[in-house]
Amino acid sequence: MSTQMQARSTAVAVDGEIVSPKTSRRTSRDRKWRIKVTIGQVVTILLILGIWQAISGNVIPDYLISSPTGVASDTVTLLQTKTMWNDILTTTQELVFGYAIGVVFGVIVGVLMGSLKYVSSVFEPIIAGINGIPKIALAPLFLLWFGLGIWSKVAQASMIVFFVMYYNVYMGMLGISPMLVKLFQVMGAKRGYVARKVVLPSLSIPIFSGLKACVPFAMIGVIVGEFIAADQGVGYFVLQATQQFDSAGLFSGIIIMVAMVLIGMAIVTFCQNRVLFWQRTGHDK
């Protein structure tokens, strides 16, 4: 009894909650580790930028790789123009629509294929065969079907996202324990209860893994579509800069693309942390 009282008396408060010294030490180690990682990342980026600046114009011609200062200046100038913001808006629309459509259909088909054995046996080889088609080869077909507007790029992005999401959800469905489902059913649980308590928790991690992976893949689909045929968009701007040998503009466009992808992944990560809070709580215990 005295030992338990002593352990309680040594508990400390962290972020307004009473935690044990062991948890407090773990939190302190995690914080120090994050600081070390951040320092390492910053140093690495600065080193790369320093090398790039040093070789630009001295080892490699400036018109081929520009320089960090030139790219930064060009990016700031571009972001002050209405044309670039129109390009960003166009690419964002294509990215969001393509991502959403691909995710929705990928989840639906993945769940159906994982739930119905006969349907899976019939269609799984067909889906695998379609997935084997190089996606860039479908871009002219989408252009023929949907025209020069945003929807040909949306179709390209959604096609890529669909397969990434489908395979994540399908494999997650195959990983659900049939014995656990049968146990709930034997105990009288209805189908909706089993879906909420067994299926959804089992699929949550594969789904969010797919959601994260789909963001850059959606951007790839959009940019490929804009390279093929477009008159607006960040991909169209990058293509124009390449044809004009404008290396600073090319790198500025790439930076804008990367920023858009990082923002999208940050949004998914935020949602994941909100939805899967139980996972972090379980790891902390």
Q: What is the pLDDT of residues 262-285, one digit of tens each?
A: 999 999 999 988 887 655 544 444
Q: Are residues 44 and 98 in the same domain?
A: no
| pTM greater than 0.85 (yes/no) | no
In a domain, 89, yes or no: yes
Q: Are residues 32 and 73 in the same domain?
A: no
Domain extent, residue 19, equals: 9-55
pLDDT digits (tens, 9 = 90+) for 193-232: 777 777 788 888 899 999 999 999 999 999 999 999 888 9
- The enclosing domain of 247 has a CATH number of 1.10.3720.10
> Is pLDDT larger for residue 278 or for residue 17?
278
pLDDT band (50, 70, 90) for residue 7: very low
Q: Are residues 132 and 186 in the same domain?
A: yes
Most confident range (mean pLDDT) of 94-108, 142-156, 172-186 is 94-108
Q: Are residues 21 and 157 in the same domain?
A: no
Average pLDDT over residues 249-253: 93
Average pLDDT over residues 225-251: 92
Radius of gyration of the chain measured on its C-alpha atoms: 25
In a domain, 3, yes or no: no
